[in-house]
């Protein structure tokens, strides 16, 4: 048991997770906080009796959520748009970055499909060049990315940590390298925000997006997009009434306006005023800010370091601690993954993901020592059964 006062005690009581379930799969879907569920249920009740729904509600909830997300990344509310997914944010960014045939766009290998597909299409339409950073043998993604930034680089579309195994990218170092070539940076922080600190004044992304359903502990089909101030007069992905100037006055909606709401609000998705999802996201963001991302990161790193150290004794490999995000652990088996592992994990009610060649272990504050012991028991038992006879 650690005595580190910066570490957060187990918060399982705030979630609805049975004792027999060991859930190490937050990078897949986070469980919802009990408080978020209660907020969502209140939203359902409001929709059940819509005569209680006031025009002001279409704006107060989005502004509250926008403000909390801005606080999380040390931005202004005006910098934040409410979107439906990470891909919505990536598409919005690419719509406002006008690639030319001579441009080079940097992206990591084994990237999440919703990041790769829109980037690949934008590159093809512009006749630009897609530069793919291959997985580094030494696990140093930062050095690998920096080695591919050069004259002609126009854009890098990156994550804070690789979605398959948590391989860390130093976005501040990347930003400095991009500055040399006047290149842009688009960040998908879906797999990091909420579990890692991130300050946009240091990273200086041109656009940054995060879906809410993973480390932000929020609902599905909701996300947030940061747009740097110099990119807040661009073209929205869709035209809708709610992102227009003066939309708050329902009596004048037929006085059509060509102007947009202030700041990044022009990039808000249609029907952004979701009276069920937004209260859930608000409850989750409030809790994350109370816990503090740096304390969450410290707590989850200690958990994953313990798992990595014990698994190493049975031949499993993980990236060095300084080259992976603390909340992520990608364990690689010597040789191929045993066919029996998935069944063993399922039988023990231990939930992880297999991504590429890695066992992706992604805990959160709801995990306890019993969960860790059960995961390690399955890994050790499988290792014993699959190791060559002495």
What pLDDT band is residue 337 in, cutting at 50, 70 and 90? confident
What pLDDT band is residue 47 in, cutting at 50, 70 and 90? very high
pLDDT for residue 71 is more than 60: yes
pLDDT for residue 2 is more than 80: no
The tens digit of pLDDT for each residue in 147-195 reads: 999 999 999 999 999 999 999 999 999 999 999 999 999 999 999 999 9
Separation of alpha carbons 20 and 131, rounded Å:
46
- Res 335: pLDDT: 82
Q: Is 84 helix (H, G, I), strand (E, B) or coil?
A: coil
341-349 average pLDDT score: 92
Smallest CA-to-CA distance from 216 within 247, 190, 235, 241 is with 190
Smallest CA-to-CA distance from 156 within 84, 117, 106 is with 106
pLDDT for residue 249 is more than 90: no
Separation of alpha carbons 307 and 300, rounded Å:
11
Query: At residue 350, what are phi and psi to the nearest 5 degrees?
Result: -105, 120
309-338 average pLDDT score: 93
Q: Which domains does the chain have, with CATH numbers?
A: 12-32+293-386 (3.90.1150.10), 37-290 (3.40.640.10)
Smallest CA-to-CA distance from 284 within 231, 348, 214 is with 214
Separation of alpha carbons 119 and 110, rounded Å:
13
What pLDDT band is residue 336 in, cutting at 50, 70 and 90? confident
pLDDT for residue 80 is more than 50: yes
E strands in 117-220: 129-133, 153-159, 184-188, 207-211
How many CB atoms sit inside 10 A of residue 113's CB? 9
Return the percentage of the chain with pLDDT > 70, whole number. 98
Burial of 389 (0-12, 13-18, 19+ CB in 10 A): exposed
Distance, first Cα to last Cα, the chain: 35
- Res 1: pLDDT: 43
Q: Helices marked H in 209-340 — which ranges?
A: 277-291, 293-312
Separation of alpha carbons 378 and 214, rounded Å:
25
pLDDT for residue 250 is more than 50: yes
In this structure, the strands spanning 153-159 and 104-108 are: parallel
Q: Which residue's structure tokens are 């740097």?
A: 228
How many CB atoms sit inside 10 A of residue 59's CB? 17
pLDDT for residue 247 is more than 60: yes
Q: Which residues pair with 155 in a beta bridge?
A: 105, 184
Instruction: Return the half-sphere exposure (C-beta side, CA atoms, 13 A cut-off) of residue 224.
Output: 34
What's 389's DSSP letter? P
How many CB atoms sit inside 10 A of residue 289's CB? 14
Smallest CA-to-CA distance from 293 within 59, 2, 6, 5 is with 6
Smallest CA-to-CA distance from 11 within 376, 220, 288 is with 288
């Amino acid at each position: 048991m650690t005595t580190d006062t910066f570490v957060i005690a187990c918060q399982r009581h705030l979630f609805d997770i049975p004792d027999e379930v060991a859930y190490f799969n937050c990078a897949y879907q986070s469980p919802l906080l009990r408080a978020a569920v209660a907020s969502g249920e209140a939203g359902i009740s409001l929709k059940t009796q819509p005569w209680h729904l006031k025009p002001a509600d279409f704006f107060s909830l989005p502004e509250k959520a926008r403000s909390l997300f801005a606080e999380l990344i040390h931005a202004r509310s005006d910098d934040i748009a409410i979107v439906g997914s990470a891909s919505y944010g990536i598409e919005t960014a690419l719509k406002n970055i006008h690639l030319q045939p001579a441009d080079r766009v940097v992206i990591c290998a084994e990237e999440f499909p919703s990041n790769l597909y829109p980037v690949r299409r934008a590159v093809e339409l512009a006749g630009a060049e897609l530069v793919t950073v291959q997985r580094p043998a030494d696990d140093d993604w930062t050095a690998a990315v920096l080695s591919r930034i050069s004259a002609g680089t126009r854009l890098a579309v990156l994550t804070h940590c690789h979605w398959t195994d948590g391989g860390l990218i130093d976005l501040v170092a990347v930003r400095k390298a991009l500055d040399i070539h006047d290149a842009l940076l688009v960040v998908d922080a879906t797999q990091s925000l909420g579990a890692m600190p991130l300050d946009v004044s240091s990273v200086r992304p041109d656009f940054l997006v995060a879906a809410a359903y993973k480390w932000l502990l929020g609902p599905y089909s909701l996300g947030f997009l940061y747009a740097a101030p110099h990119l807040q007069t661009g073209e929205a992905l869709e035209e809708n009434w709610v992102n227009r100037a003066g939309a708050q006055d329902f009596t004048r909606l037929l006085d059509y306006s060509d102007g947009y709401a202030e700041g990044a609000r022009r990039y808000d998705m249609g029907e952004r005023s979701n009276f069920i999802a937004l209260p859930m996201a608000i409850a989750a963001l409030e809790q994350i800010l109370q816990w503090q991302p740096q304390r969450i990161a410290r707590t989850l790193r200690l958990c994953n370091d313990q798992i990595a150290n014990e698994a190493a004794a049975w031949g499993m490999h993980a990236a060095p601690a300084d080259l992976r995000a603390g909340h992520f652990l990608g364990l690689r088996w010597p040789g191929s993954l045993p066919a029996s592992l998935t069944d063993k994990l399922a039988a023990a009610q231990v939930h992880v993901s297999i991504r590429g060649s890695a066992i992706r272990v992604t805990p959160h504050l709801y995990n306890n020592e019993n969960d860790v012991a059960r995961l390690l028991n399955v890994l050790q038992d499988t290792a014993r059964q699959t190791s060559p006879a002495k």
